[in-house]
Amino acid sequence: MKKYEAIRQQLLARREELNRRIHKMADKARHIDEPLTPDFSEQAVERQNDEVLDALGDAGRRELAQINRALARIDSGEYGACANCGRAIPEQRLEILPYSDLCVACAEKQDAR
């Protein structure tokens, strides 16, 4: 049962870090309502920063969803088994890709599609 406890702790720590980062970014985004400066070159820089914030937020939110899914699979006992064929996913693969829910063969098949 405690087989994936180390990975679970790792996922929880990562989730906490992402949550902190997303909240920080959301706080920053709220200040963007301020009117843009009349200087056009400065405007361009400000717009670029907004885009960076958005991109980081999306990637962070996506990763958060993957973490939650992996944690749910650990809790339900599904973790470590391929979601497609049911075979065991090698532990080395889970250490490198803790969000992975496919074995190597099925992941390769999916990539080839």
Q: Give me the residues that bind Zn ion (CB under 5 A), please.
A: 82, 84-85, 103, 106
User: Taking the complex as a whole, how short is the minimal distance between the CB of residue 100 and Zn ion, in angstroms?
Assistant: 10
Nearer to Zn ion, 32 or 85 (CB): 85
Number of Cβ within 10 Å of residue 103's Cβ equals: 20
Number of Cβ within 10 Å of residue 38's Cβ equals: 7
Number of Cβ within 10 Å of residue 73's Cβ equals: 17
Nearer to Zn ion, 26 or 105 (CB): 105
Contact 100, 94 (CB under 8 A): yes
User: Taking the complex as a whole, how short is the minimal distance between the CB of residue 83 and Zn ion, in angstroms?
Assistant: 8
User: Taking the complex as a whole, how short is the minimal distance between the CB of residue 75 and Zn ion, in angstroms?
Assistant: 21
